[in-house]
Structure 1
Amino acid sequence: MGWGLGLAALTAVFAVTFYAYYLVSRVLDHCEAAGRRHIRFRELAADVLGSGWVFYVVVSVQTAINAGVTTGSILLAADCLKIMYSDLAPDGPLKLYHFIIIVAVVLALLSQLPSFHSLRHINLGSLILSFAYTILVSAACIRAGASSNPPAKDYSLSSSKSEKTFNAFLSISILASVFGNGILPEIQATLAPPAAGKMTKALVLCYAVVFFTFYLPAITGYWAFGNQVQSNVLQSLMPDEGPSLAPTWLLGLTVVLVLLQLLAIALVYSQVAYEIMEKNSADVAHGRFSRRNLAPRVALRTAYVAACALVAAALPFFGDIVGVVGAVGFIPLDFILPVVMYNMALAPPRRSPVYVANVAIMVVFTGVGVIGAVASVRKLALDAGKFKLFSDDVVD
């Protein structure tokens, strides 16, 4: 997308998602004030939109998002481990799927934590890791770009108008995944009541962190490598051919930080799937960790992680997976549904700026989602020629 459109798209998605999450928080507060407290996105949507089928649509979209994020996190974490391993042992016998198994085993063990609320310490650690990763990877990109032998960089765009258009909408779909959060009601439910006002403060704090951790790596990475920068910037910093473009200790520490961060992301996004599965398998007459409930809990959570790991190993299309999840999952759930629910629940006057802005966002991002889905499927078709079952390389 280049410097101008790229930063404009990043800023637009930044602003719209903040606004959309604020609207969801307002709708939750409105329903709670009316005596209907919701702790799940699917229940909130079904209540506001007044249709039973909405519940199942949101469940399906949330499930697709959670599975996609978990699969992508496992794949990216394994890819980071493989990049570091290949740098230390270029002729080593381990393949990508070996590292996927390692990550999946660790994630399956961590998945046995009791509840969403029990992840609060992991979330705090994730925040610290995000800051540390941002500083390290940005420093590495600046060092690489300013070195006496900098990597070749190209800021030009494709000469084909159709190619540029599809790439732009694919990029927006990927940005939607990056900023997406399909579990906001589940997060707000962990706040002590009354939640009104607290969630707004939390959003402001969250987006202050997001601004630092998203803009700095995006700007330094694109400056250092241009349009040749990889989805996983560590691949650009540690190319298959030639020496690493940053000190090994810095890259090694960065790999550890991003690995821990990805495990935290996968844990959070898996919780909705676990809750859905265990709602049907658990017996409320017995304790959560009774023999009756513990066995299916361990089996189902382990099976879910194993299934995501199998998909990651068999179909290592990281960039393509993120694009599809963004277009068909995050855009409907995080860009369209919030503005629709706000207009229906709080019913602002039809000529008010809020109502008009919400309708405009709904129309624009419905179009973006449809074209983004086409662009993502097109990218998958183009990358099919690179496909090899259980490939040792991640396809961007």
Structure 2
Amino acid sequence: MGEGECFKAETVLLNYSDASLKPPLSPLLIHIDPVLIPSESDPCTSNSQQDHHPKDAWLPITESRNGNAYYAAFHILNSNIGFQALMLPVAFATLGWAWGTVCLSVAFVWQLYAIFLLVQLHESVPGIRHSRYLFLAMAAFGKRLGKVGALFPVMYLSGGTCVMLIITGGGTIKLLLKTLCENDDGKTCNADALSGVECYLVFTCVAILIAQLPNLNSMAMVSLVGAVTSITYCTLIWVLSVKKGRPSNVSYTSSQSHQSTSVAKITEVLNAIGTIMLAFRGHNVLLEIQGTLPSNFEQTTKKPMRRAVSISYVLIGLCVFPLAIAGFWAYGNQIKDEGLLSWFLEFEKKQMTKLSMGVMYVLVIIHCLSSYQIYAMPVFDNLEIRYTSIKNERCPGLVRRCLRLLFGGLTFFIAVTFPFLPKLAALLGGITLVPVTYAYPCFMWLSLNNHRPRSRGILWCFNLALGSLGMLLSALLLAAAIKTLAHKGLNANFFKP
């Protein structure tokens, strides 16, 4: 069999790469059959190196598989640490010291366990690499059920997170300009100040300019910058909060009102638990990050990826736990719902110099720009899968740039249209992030390991219980978010960022 015939064979399409699947948004999907595994006698395979269908080299996630554990760690840090962790002291204000610490510890261990499951599942079948979360879900649950259960969560956690980053980054640009423009008497100069829409546009233009880097592996240095900036501003906030001391009237009693009904108290507790669970993210791009690592039939990507996860989560733990504990210690139940960053800058405004506040804002903006690249990559990849499946050729550079520009314009339009989207974070997170992070990895492990001996053992039951608990929590957090919105209302400031 010649080389050209090898690449035309359906066996090659099925076994060499998940990138050979039809695009997830297409109704036509190639069925993944784990029985079809390349053999040593197959002339289309190599004993030393796992060859791949050429389409792997056409797509931005799998275009370059020359990454290493350190690059993967940069990507994980950049996609996991962020402004959502600054909300943790708000959760502690409701739960208190003991329950807040317990819930944060459980959530940290739970999502870390789910990450190691995903790392294991990336190459759970010899010869097949699941380099995309959505394709792994379809391989585990079947193409229809996997598509129904994972398509919206994965697409929202990519595109929706980019919209959130535009809102956060653009809003921070506006705050930066206001801070730099503010005079000593507290008055601001508004003559040349940018509007909210213009700040969003500036952020989006810079983000799309950076997004012209060809593939995920080429963005390793961008992720390194994002990781350094996020660790820096998170560390600065909790260190300065402790250094400056507590307000005289700080209190650590629960922020719940004694006059609240039982239902209201339960809702507040669930919202606090949801805030803690939503502080951990990035599972929807973990397989994509692992897809940048090289592998062959003798050596898989599991060992370097475990090393990358271990390195990154030591640093994540050193950021998340001090943020929650030190932030609550410094401000107690006085902290507002906007989170630690807003409260810290407001409370310490008179004690901080204009330069210090500006540096803090710049760090947040740089991290948002860097994080945008990681979360946008699965969308770029899916758009190019659609193009290559139709044209059966590599996406030209001009078309690639136009697709990324189109995505940037779309996310900008959504951000301007729905600038109140962060207020819906608990609602949308309960639908998307909680299942993808805490439940689906357990169920996918059950499905892909069901053929092995002792499939009904202790570990099987543990994953079943953990996945079911994750789905139950998703439903409870969704109900609590709906009740909170119904009670407090929503200031839907359409087109008014």
CA distance in 1, matches of 2:314, 2:239: 20
Q: Kindly indicate whether residue 92 of structure 2 is the aligned counterpart of residue 13 of structure 1.
A: no
Residue number in structure 2 paired with 1:37: 129
- Assess, with a 3 A threshold, how the Cα gap between structure 1 residues 388 and 297 changes in structure 2: closer, same or farther: same
Indicate the residue corresponding to 2:254 in structure 1. 156
Tell me the equivalent position of 2:121. 27
Equivalent residue number for residue 349 of structure 1: 454
Equivalent pair of 1:328/1:369 in contact (CA under 8 Å): yes
Tell me if structure 2 keeps the 8 A contact 1:70–1:266: yes
Q: CA deviation at 1:285?
A: 6.1
**Which of 263, 266, 272 is matched with 1:171 structurally?**
272
Structure 1 residue identity aligned to 2:218: S
Aligned counterparts of 2:160 and 2:398: Cα–Cα separation in 1: 26
Q: Which has the higher mean CA deviation after the structures are superposed, 259-268 or 162-171?
A: 162-171
Give the Cα–Cα distance (whole angstroms) in 1 for the partners of residues 349 and 133 of structure 2.
48
Query: 1:82-141: per-residue Cα shift (whole Å, max 9, x none)?
Result: 233333335334333332121111112112210111111112222222221122112332
Q: Compared with structure 1, are the counterparts of its residues 229 and 143 closer, same or farther at alpha carbon in structure 2 (3 Å cutoff)? A: farther
Looking at structure 1, the residues matched to 322 and 348 of structure 2 have their Cα atoms a distance apart, in angstroms, of: 26
Q: Which amino acid aligns with 1:187?
A: I
From 365, 376, 389, the equivalent of 1:259 is: 365
Task: Work out whether residues 23 and 339 of structure 1, in 8 Å CA contact, stay in contact via their aligned partners in 2.
Answer: yes
> 1:55: how far off?
3.1
Q: Measure how far apart 1:81 and its partner are.
A: 2.2
Separation in structure 2 between the aligned mates of residue 67 and residue 165 of structure 1, nearest angstrom = 32
Q: Rate the CA distance shift 1:170–1:299 in 2: closer, same or farther, 3 A.
A: farther
Identity of aligned residues (%): 21
Matches within 5 A, 1:101-140: 101-140=201-240
The 5-angstrom pairing of residues 182-193 of structure 1 reads: 182-193=284-295
Answer yes or no: is the 8 Å Cα contact 2:234–2:319 preserved in 1. yes
Inter-CA distance 137–44: structure 2 relative to 1 (3 Å threshold): same
1:312 corresponds in structure 2 to 415
Q: Aligned to 2:431, which of 328, 336, 340?
A: 328
Give the drift of 1:156: 2.6
Q: 2:305 aligns with which of 199, 207, 210?
A: 199
Number of residues of Structure 1 aligned to a counterpart in Structure 2: 383
1:99 alignment partner in structure 2: 199
Q: Is the 8 A contact 1:133 1:257 kept in 2?
A: yes
Judged with a 3 Å threshold, the aligned counterparts in structure 2 of structure 1 residues 277 and 95 are, in CA distance, closer, same or farther, namely: same
What TM-score comes out, normalization by structure 2 length?
A: 0.71
Distance 1:131 1:6, change over 3 A: same
**Post-superposition CA distance 1:147-198 (Å, at most 9, x none):** xx66866643223232332233233333333312212211111112121222
* 1:190-229 equivalence runs, <5 A: 190-193=292-295, 194-227=300-333, 228-229=335-336
Contact 1:58 1:333 in 2 (8 A): yes
Q: Which of these residues, 361, 369, 372, is aligned with residue 474 of structure 2? A: 369
What RMSD, in angstroms, separates the aligned Cα atoms of the two structures?
2.6
Q: Which residue of 1 aligns with 2:21?
A: none
CA contact (8 A) 2:176 2:362 kept: no
One-letter code aligned to 1:120: A
Identify the residue that residue 242 of structure 2 maps to in structure 1: 142
Aligned-partner Cα distance in 2 for 1:2–1:387 = 32
Maintained 8 Å contact 1:144/1:246: no
Give the Cα–Cα distance (whole angstroms) in 1 for the partners of residues 171 and 350 of structure 2. Answer: 16
Q: Secondary structure at the match of 1:246?
A: coil
Amino acid in structure 2 at the alignment position of 1:365: G
Aligned counterparts of 2:355 and 2:487: Cα–Cα separation in 1:
37
Comparing both structures, which one devotes a greater share of its residues to helix? 1
Q: Contact 1:82/1:96 (CA < 8 Å) preserved in 2?
A: yes
Q: 1:51 to 1:346 in 2, by over 3 A?
A: same
Q: Could you tell me which amino acid in structure 2 is paired with residue 191 of structure 1?
A: L
SS at match of 1:81: helix
CA distance in 1, matches of 2:351, 2:405: 38
Contact 1:166 1:375 (8 Å CA) reproduced: yes
Gaps of 5+ in 1: none
Range with bigger deviation, 320-329 or 98-107: 320-329
Residues 1:238 and 1:130: Cα distance change in structure 2 (over 3 Å): closer
CA contact (8 A) 1:126 1:260 kept: yes
Give the CA deviation at 1:351: 5.2
Q: Is the 8 A contact 1:176 1:327 kept in 2?
A: no
Runs of 5+ unmatched residues, structure 2: 1-94
TM-score by length of 1: 0.87
What SS does structure 2 have at the residue aligned with 1:238? helix
In structure 1, distance between residues paired with 2:237 and 2:268: 25
After TM superposition, the structure 1 stretch with the greater mean CA deviation from structure 2, 352-361 or 376-385, is 376-385
C-alpha distance in 2 between matches for 1:258 and 1:151? 30
Q: Secondary structure of 1:197's match?
A: helix
- Are the aligned partners of 2:121 and 2:445 in contact in 1 as well (CA < 8 Å)? yes
